[in-house]
């Protein structure tokens, strides 16, 4: 099977949130009790969670006196250079990749719920479920892909904003869509060609990159290597979520101190 991708043509998204419902339905995820969130994004629920693996976010800006309103479906981007996999401390890794398709998924039988993937993902995607202490996120519907089906969100999208196929084909389509948008006077950006060595969820952002809440140059954090070093003395059999949590906490403090030091030097 070739490398796969979902193309998200946001110029066609109408924020119906059918994808959100389809994801819940296929993955048997319960609804969440939510309250209206009036901050940036305005979406409901506010963020991804162990029960919500995809979410449509809302954005607005005023331009030349008129209001521009745009939407972005958020979920795991299935990065080629995935910080979550690099950070996952168990052996073999619980956060892993299907080599053929490029899909990143959690093998729950190995997951210890330590949250290293949560801490290091540059997009805030995975969340550890308190009930079973396993990391949860979009699986790219790998169970459907293996049966020759498309992901549930793609199947349900009524506007054609989500397209599934071989990654090479999706990149070609993304470029063609961006070209058309440019000719129509829009300012499109394709997110996922080079970011983290290539994503398997590729966005065509019709309003340009700055308008949305995606990081401009996402990176695998440098101190992942230090985390590995700190955990090395602990044997695979005795590694616990608490030990990983302590190591992450220590590295966070070091990072904060370094930032404070730099700020001091500036003054």
Beta strands 162-166; 55-63: pairing state:
unpaired
Q: Which residue of 5, 13, 48, 121 would you call a contact of ligand SF4, by CB under 6 A? A: 121
- Cis amide linkage into residue 176, ω under 30° from 0: no
Q: How far apart are CA 58 and CA 253, in angstroms?
A: 34
Number of shown-chain residues binding ligand SF4 (CB under 6 A): 28
CB of 248 to ligand SF4, least distance (A): 10
Report the residue number, 76 or 181, with the smaller CB distance to ligand SF4.
76
Q: How far apart are CA 227 and CA 46, in angstroms?
A: 30
CB of 120 to ligand SF4, least distance (A): 7
Q: What is the DSSP letter of 133?
A: T
Q: Which residue of 18, 50, 102, 113 would you call a contact of ligand SF4, by CB under 6 A? A: 113
Interior CA angle at 200 toward 121 and 183, to 5°? Answer: 115
Sign of the CA dihedral with 47 first, then 163, 7, and 111 last: positive
> Residue 87 interacts with ligand SF4 (CB under 6 A)?
yes
Q: Which residue of 10, 125, 157, 214 would you call a contact of ligand SF4, by CB under 6 A? A: 125
> Residue 88 interacts with ligand SF4 (CB under 6 A)?
yes
Q: Which residue of 22, 48, 70, 95 would you call a contact of ligand SF4, by CB under 6 A? A: 95
List % helix, strand, coil for the chain (3-state, nearest 5): 35, 20, 45
CB of 239 to ligand SF4, least distance (A): 9
Helix axes 241-266, 224-231, angle to 10 degrees: 140
Q: Which stretch binds ligand SF4 (CB under 6 A): 57-65, 114-122, 153-161, 163-171?
A: 114-122
> Residue 135 interacts with ligand SF4 (CB under 6 A)?
yes
Structural contact between residues 3 and 200, judged by C-beta atoms closer than 8 angstroms: yes
> Residue 86 interacts with ligand SF4 (CB under 6 A)?
no
Residue of 90, 120, 108 lying closest to 196 (CA atoms): 120
Q: Which residue of 18, 115, 151, 192 would you call a contact of ligand SF4, by CB under 6 A? A: 115
Sketch the per residue contact string, 55 through 84, with ligand SF4: x for CB under 6 A, - otherwise.
---------------------xxxx--xxx
Residues found in the chain: 267
CB of 200 to ligand SF4, least distance (A): 8
Q: How far apart are CA 49 and CA 127, in angstroms?
A: 6
Interface residues toward ligand SF4, by CB under 6 A: 76-79, 82-84, 87-88, 90, 94-95, 104, 106, 111-117, 121, 123, 125-126, 128, 135, 137
């Amino acid at each position: 099977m070739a490398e796969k991708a979902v193309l998200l043509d946001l110029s066609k998204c109408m924020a119906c949130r059918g994808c959100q419902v389809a994801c819940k339905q296929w993955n048997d995820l319960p609804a969440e009790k939510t309250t209206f969130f009036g901050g940036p994004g305005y979406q409901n629920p506010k963020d991804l969670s162990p029960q919500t693996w995809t979410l449509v976010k809302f954005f607005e800006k005023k331009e030349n006196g008129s209001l521009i309103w745009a939407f972005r479906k958020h979920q795991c981007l299935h990065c080629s250079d995935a910080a979550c996999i690099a950070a996952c401390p168990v052996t073999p890794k619980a956060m892993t990749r299907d080599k053929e398709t490029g899909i990143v998924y959690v093998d729950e039988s190995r997951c210890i719920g330590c949250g290293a993937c949560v801490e290091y993902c540059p997009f805030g995607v995975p969340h550890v479920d308190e009930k079973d202490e396993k990391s949860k996120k979009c699986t790219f519907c790998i169970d459907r892909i293996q049966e020759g089906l498309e992901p549930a969100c793609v199947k349900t999208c009524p506007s054609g904003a989500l397209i599934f196929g071989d990654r090479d084909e999706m990149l070609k389509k993304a470029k063609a869509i961006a070209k058309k948008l440019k000719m129509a006077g829009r300012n499109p950006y394709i997110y996922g060609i080079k970011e983290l060595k290539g994503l398997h969820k590729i966005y065509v952002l019709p309003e340009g990159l700055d308008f949305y809440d995606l990081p401009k140059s996402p990176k695998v954090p440098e101190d992942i290597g230090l985390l590995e070093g700190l955990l090395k003395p602990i044997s695979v059999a005795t590694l616990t979520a608490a030990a990983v949590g302590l190591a992450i906490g220590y590295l966070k403090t070091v990072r904060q101190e370094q930032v404070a030091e730099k700020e001091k030097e500036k003054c």
